[in-house]
Structure 1
Amino acid sequence: MHETVPFQMRLTGDLADTHKFQGYDGYMAMAGFAWTLSLVTNYAVTGEIRHKGDFPGRRLVHARAPQAGSVLVEMVSLLTSDPVQIFGGVAAGVGAGGLLTALVSRVINQNIGDEDPNSDRILGRFMDSRGGDIEALTAMAESPIRQTLKIIGNGVEEIYVSSGFNIINSFNEETKEYVNQNVIDNVEKMGDFSISAFNVNSGHGSVFDRKIGRVVPFSMGADVLEGNKRKFSWGLDQYASGKSGKLRLKYTRLLNMDGRPKRYIVLSASRVPG
């Protein structure tokens, strides 16, 4: 199968309204956008998370020359496989294009701190089965998204990102501040959590924190991952099967400037008795 999915990035305000952009920051922004699409497209067509070497996603995202309007950047992702063959029944009924668009939207919105209920609805069972993969993709896309946002305040006031008629989001100075400003809270905390997503290779995943009423991503160092893979896999199985088993985590936090947690950094884990 072959399917193409269009993506657009429109630069507006300041210099962009004259159909121009600062050369270095402008092309770096486009490269960051292309890299984000390459990471997600590669996962959509292969089921593998790659960000190094000559992986297929690098060759499956094509760009057209920028156009006036104010500045319009168009890219196309080429999908060459049926997602059901790659991911099984959890991808049934979504379609290759729908899956990719929802994944790109989810990755972008999670990185800029926005809820994305529409993508969550579309992904449905896919999130339950592959949530850890999506958390790993989100973490990998943080750097290229930050790179894309550098142009804001440097000849561009706002960026609009879409796929066809589907609006993914807009970026402005507030978005840039959210992505760039991290507060490291090294105070060690302890809590009992359901494991809603986990990637056994990267150690990325998410937990539902009842105290704040939302899902929070987590990561861990290689040494912590090596000693706790089975515990987190057990915790994810408990969550997926509707059981009550939880993990007790010791962790520190990466916070936004307003104190909202962006990510928990896991230091240790154990099963909650009972």
Structure 2
Amino acid sequence: MNNIILNFELSFEGSNSDEHIIDLYDVSEALKGFHRTLALTTHLMLHSEIITKAPFAKNLNIYTYPSKEGSWKLIASLAISGQFLMTGLTSSQDTILGHLFFSAYDYVISESLGFNVDYNKTLGQLYIEHKNDIKLPVITESQLDSVIEKVQDSITEMHRPIYKSNTAELLNIKAFSENTNFNLSSVIDINSYHYIKENVIDGKIFTVTGVVTSYNSNTYRGRIFISEINRPIPFEFDSSLKKKINSIKKVLKSLETHALKKEHLNITMDVKTIKSRNGKLKAYLVQKIWKESLDN
């Protein structure tokens, strides 16, 4: 027995899709990408575990129904099962669950496409407000960032009818739980495709100072909050830094101080910028970490 906690509406619009026609292979790959991103995100929410293959996801099912007319629409339902099947949920609790899972999915998709989602004001706030209502593991921003690293290709393929056969121009993803509707923070179109697909590295090196908010020692990637632009920016170590253990220790110390002690600890890096084709900042490529960069 499963409990449906969230329904998604996927709607391709523009070009041939407005006449209820879309390239079959392209849309099948797009739906495969949607399924994988949702499955990996949901598995993390349930088990606090990062996986790489959708068939390995546990205690969840993603169902679909006959397509709707009017553009090209599909309904998909997210259901949880097993030990996570919560019987006797009120309408309010069902909506809270739906909001939690959608907030995580929105973070993964939107952050991948360059739309900033403030974890502390979305999923983080929901955990605080409803800690006594829903018994699920608390998923950190760093864990969601790890999922983002795993699903880049899947999110790219969600654009396939837009960039390949041009049988659509836009993918709208909405969700609803009971009487509450949720919308993605991002737009999925040809511009978001170019953003996620193309990287332009600027050879100029400059210095940034900020607080490391997440870091994965396996991938040498993380995020650093820059106060001047008021948002966290993804970063990754250049190959020359990956074997310098002292640099990695500094990043981990900054992360530990920020995440565990709730104190701000600044770190200064020399970086190159990684931008999209239209010049939007995507990430920093770290060249050096200043030895004396940590505040006391």
TM range (shorter): 0.7 to 0.9
User: Paired residue for 1:110?
Assistant: 111
Instruction: Structure 2 unaligned segments of length 5 or more: list them.
Output: 86-94, 129-137
TM-score under structure 1 normalisation?
0.81
User: Paired residue for 1:141?
Assistant: 151
User: Paired residue for 2:212?
Assistant: 195
Does the CA contact (< 8 Å) of 1:206 and 1:215 recur in 2?
yes
3-state SS of paired residue (1:60): strand
Instruction: Structure 1 unaligned segments of length 5 or more: list them.
Output: 84-93
Deviations 1:137-175 (A, max 9, x none): 222222111111121151112211011121224422332
What is the deviation of 1:43?
Answer: 0.8
Does the CA contact (< 8 Å) of 1:38 and 1:58 recur in 2?
no
Which protein has the larger Cα radius of gyration, Structure 1 or Structure 2?
Answer: 2
Deviations 1:151-202 (A, max 9, x none): 1151112211011121224422332232333212244444332111223444
Larger CA deviation: 159-168 vs 135-144: 135-144
Choose the corresponding residue for 2:170, options 158, 168, 181: 158
Q: How does 1:10-49 map to 2 (within 5 A)?
A: 10-49=11-50
Q: Cα RMSD over matched residues?
A: 3.3
Larger CA deviation: 204-213 vs 125-134: 125-134
3-state SS of paired residue (1:152): helix
Deviations 1:98-129 (A, max 9, x none): 22100111111112222335x65231256997
1:204 maps to a residue whose letter is R
Number of aligned residues: 265
3-state SS of paired residue (1:151): helix
User: Paired residue for 1:272?
Assistant: 294
Does the CA contact (< 8 Å) of 2:200 and 2:276 recur in 1?
yes
3-state SS of paired residue (2:232): strand
2:215 maps to a residue whose letter is F
User: Paired residue for 2:61?
Assistant: 60
Does the CA contact (< 8 Å) of 1:21 and 1:155 recur in 2?
yes
Does the CA contact (< 8 Å) of 2:44 and 2:139 recur in 1?
no
What is the deviation of 1:134?
Answer: 1.6
% identical aligned pairs: 19
Choose the corresponding residue for 1:212, options 220, 224, 229: 229
TM-score under structure 2 normalisation?
0.76
In 1: Cα distance, 2:121 partner to 2:227 partner:
21
1:239 and 2:266 matched: no
In 2: Cα distance, 1:261 partner to 1:162 partner:
27
Q: Given the superposition, is the C-alpha separation of residues 244 and 103 from structure 1 closer, same or farther in structure 2, using an over 3 Å criterion?
A: closer
Q: Given the superposition, is the C-alpha separation of residues 12 and 191 from structure 1 closer, same or farther in structure 2, using an over 3 Å criterion?
A: closer
Structure with bigger helix share is 1
In 2: Cα distance, 1:197 partner to 1:129 partner:
13
Q: Given the superposition, is the C-alpha separation of residues 230 and 3 from structure 1 closer, same or farther in structure 2, using an over 3 Å criterion?
A: farther
